[in-house]
């Protein structure tokens, strides 16, 4: 059984009059890969800084192994951090960059634990080589920082952070500076390192795919509040509200009503679903993932609509379909031309029913699917409005 290692208890954070973290409650298990996921400014870095001890919450407590650590300074916490800008020392070679943390730290003398001594040179060598091997950079010790690619430099930063054998590694968007291909490779690499070393990773990203790929647990945040905590599967399959459904993957989110257990209504029709426990006729948000919708001949459809846009995506088509003014995204390998009248079929497990929330009605309509085109239009509109004023 995994054991709780870190707990944030009712952490509240204010800068001036702005609420940055709104009563965060969260625990992190030993050896877990936990990801804080959310849009820019939602409070991810602030949460990480509180765990690292670089920032104190305005109120609330931080516990490590059951002990309150609010007043423990960063260097006394069993935590190390990898930042987005990993700032290696360019005047030192790779070996010295990794060894740095060991050289500045003193450790108890094995012969007399009350005495603090420098880490012996032989141990530094052994541990640096072990750390470099772990990030697949064995033999790179003598190379200069500038002779390495971005991905290799990132790995040096990780070696530097794990060489001290922290119990927890905090990673703040560590792959942000890498291009897509390298980022994907490093995601797999990081997961391997975490499992091999067996330490707790608390990872920050705003990239939902990255979070789904790497994490044991995802914490979805927005505007300083935790929206949902769960496994990648939970978060994807059972989003708690329209914000989560929209932020994780693509979602059509439609106004509906739960007639009774296992029966949801939309567009004045009834559909079988797998959800229960709502009040009779409770208004709900209905999430339908684009890949859970089958296109069928118009006469066989549970609903019928008109195709307004088709984009070839390599493996599938993104098809936008207008159902009485509300536009859905459907992902399918079957081609339907623009203008076609089609029917759709959705199996009961394709419906995900959510309680109404403050986010209802704000997400899940694909009317502005071709965002680039729309943004251009918006710019033009604004220009025209400006023009009118003059
Ligand atoms: N020292 C500070 N003083 C004032 N406001 C701050 C301070 N640090 C952070 N903030 C504000 O707190 C909010 C949350 O910031 P934070 O850096 O935690 O967000 P984030 O989720 O990490 O965002 P990003 O994805 O852009 O890194 C932002 O609105 C930010 O402007
Ligand atoms: Mg941040």
Q: Which of 47, 49, 16, 7 is nearest to 225 (CA)?
A: 47
Task: Kindly report the length of the chain.
Answer: 390
Residue located via tokens 């070393």? 197
Q: In what order do the strands lie in the sheet with 4-15?
A: 18-29, 4-15, 59-64, 67-68
> For the chain, which residues make up each domain, given as ranges?
4-236, 238-365
Interval 245-265 mean pLDDT: 94
Residues 211/205, Cβ–Cβ less than 8 Å: yes
Ligand 1 atom 5 nearest Cα: 15
64: CA distance to ligand 1 center in Å?
24
Region 226-230 average pLDDT: 97
CB 327 within 8 A of CB 250: no
pLDDT average, residue stretch 238-267: 94
Q: What ligand 1 atom has the least distance to the C-alpha of 38?
A: 21
Residue 236, pLDDT > 70, answer yes
Residues 187 and 175: their CA atoms lie apart, in Å, by 8
Question: How far is Cα 386 from Cα 390, in angstroms, rounded to an integer?
Answer: 7
Looking at all shown ligands, the one closest to residue 206's CA atom is 1
Residue 305 pLDDT > 90, yes or no? yes
CA–CA distance from 89 to each of 271, 302, 350 (Å)? 61, 63, 52
Residue 381 has pLDDT above 80, yes or no: no
Q: How far is the CA of 42 from the centre of ligand 2 (A)?
A: 8
Question: Stretch 11-15: mean pLDDT, rounded?
Answer: 96
DSSP state for residue 87 in the 8-state scheme: -
Centre of ligand 1 to C-alpha 46, Å, is: 6
pTM, two decimal places: 0.86
What is the spatial distance between Cα 243 and Cα 264, in angstroms, rounded to a whole number? 21
Is the per-residue pLDDT at 145 higher than 70? yes
Q: Crossing angle, helix 150-162 and helix 180-197, to 10 degrees? A: 20
369 vs 70, higher pLDDT: 70
Question: CA–CA distance from 376 to each of 199, 364, 365, 380 (Å)?
Answer: 47, 21, 19, 6
**Is the pLDDT score of 372 beyond 70?**
no
| CA-based nearest residue to 325, from 365, 375, 369 | 365
**pLDDT, averaged across the chain:** 90
Distance, CA 206 to ligand 1 centroid (Å)? 13
CATH homologous superfamily, domain 238-365: Nucleic acid-binding proteins (2.40.50.140)
pLDDT at site 370: 57
Above 50 in pLDDT, residue 387? no
Rounded-to-integer distance, Cα 166 and Cα 275, Å:
44
Tokens of 68: 């309150």
One CATH from 3.40.1010.10, 3.40.50.300, 2.40.10.340, 1.10.1200.120 for 4-236 = 3.40.50.300
Task: Tell me the residues surrounding ligand 2 (ion) with CB < 5 Å.
Answer: 45
* Closest residue by Cα to residue 88 from 172, 149, 23: 149
Whether the CB of 58 sits within 6 Å of ligand 1: no
DSSP state of 231: -
SS3 category, 151: helix
Q: Which tokens sit at 318?
A: 């993104």
Q: Which of the ligands is closest to the CA of residue 49?
A: 1
**pLDDT, tens only, 183-193:** 898 899 899 99
Residue 272, C-beta contacts closer than 8 angstroms, at least 6 positions apart: 262, 263, 348
Mean pLDDT value across residues 121-141: 93
Per cent of the chain over pLDDT 90 is 73
Give the number of the ligand closest to the Cα of residue 21: 1
Distance CA 119, CA 164 (A): 11
- Report whether pLDDT(41) > 90: yes
Cα of 344 to ligand 1 centre, how many Å? 43
Tell me which range, 83-97, 99-113, 146-160, 335-349, is most confidently predicted by mean pLDDT. 335-349
- The pLDDT of 73-102, averaged and rounded, is 88
- The mean-pLDDT minimum among 74-83, 362-371, 372-381 falls in 372-381
Q: What average pLDDT does the segment 302-314 reach?
A: 94
268 neighbors 253 (Cβ within 8 angstroms): no
Contact of 38 with 206, CB cutoff 8 Å: yes
390 pLDDT more than 50? no
By most ligand atoms within 8 Å of CB, the mutation choice from 8, 44, 48 for ligand 1 is: 44
Residue 250: what are its φ and ψ, rounded to 5°?
Answer: -100, 140
For residue 175, what pLDDT is reported? 87
Mean predicted confidence (pLDDT) in 100-120: 85
Place of tokens 């001290």: 164
* CB distance 221 to 227 below 8 Å: yes
Per the CB < 8 A criterion, the answer to whether 357 and 287 are in contact is no
């Amino acid at each position: 059984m995994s054991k709780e290692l870190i707990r944030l208890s009712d952490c509240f954070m204010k800068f001036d009059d702005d609420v940055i973290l709104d009563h965060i409650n969260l625990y992190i298990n030993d050896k877990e890969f936990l990801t804080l996921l959310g849009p820019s400014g939602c409070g991810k870095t602030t949460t990480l800084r509180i765990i690292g001890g670089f920032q104190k919450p305005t109120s609330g407590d931080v516990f490590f192994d059951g002990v309150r650590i609010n007043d423990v300074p960063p260097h006394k916490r069993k935590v190390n951090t990898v930042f987005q800008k990993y700032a290696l020392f360019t005047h030192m070679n790779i070996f010295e960059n990794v060894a740095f943390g060991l050289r500045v730290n003193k450790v108890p003398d094995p012969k007399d634990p009350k005495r603090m001594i420098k880490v012996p040179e032989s141990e530094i060598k052994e541990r640096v080589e072990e750390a470099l091997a772990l990030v697949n950079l064995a033999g790179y010790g003598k190379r200069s920082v500038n002779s390495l690619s971005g991905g290799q430099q990132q790995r040096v930063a990780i070696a530097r952070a794990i060489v001290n054998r922290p119990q927890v590694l905090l990673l703040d968007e560590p792959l942000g500076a890498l291009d897509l291909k390298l980022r994907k490779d490093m995601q797999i690499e990081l997961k391997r390192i975490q499992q091999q070393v067996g330490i707790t990773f608390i990872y920050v990203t705003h990239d939902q795919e990255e979070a789904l790929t790497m994490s044991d647990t995802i914490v979805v945040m927005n505007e300083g509040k935790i929206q949902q905590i769960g496994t990648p599967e939970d978060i994807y399959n059972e989003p708690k509200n329209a914000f989560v459904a929209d932020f994780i993957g693509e979602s059509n989110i439609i106004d509906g009503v739960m007639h009774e257990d296992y029966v949801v209504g939309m567009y004045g029709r009834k559909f079988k679903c797998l959800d229960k426990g709502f009040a009779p006729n409770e208004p709900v948000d209905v999430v339908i993932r684009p890949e859970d919708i089958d296109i069928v001949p118009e006469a066989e459809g549970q609903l019928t609509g008109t195709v307004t846009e088709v984009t070839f995506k390599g493996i599938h088509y993104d098809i936008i379909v207008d159902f009485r003014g509300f536009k859905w995204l459907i992902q399918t390998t079957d081609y339907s031309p623009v203008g076609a009248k089609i029917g759709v079929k959705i199996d009961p497990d394709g419906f995900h029913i959510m309680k109404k929330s403050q986010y209802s009605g704000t997400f899940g309509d694909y009317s502005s699917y071709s965002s680039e085109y729309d943004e251009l239009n918006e710019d033009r509109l604004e220009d025209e409005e400006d023009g009118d004023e003059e």
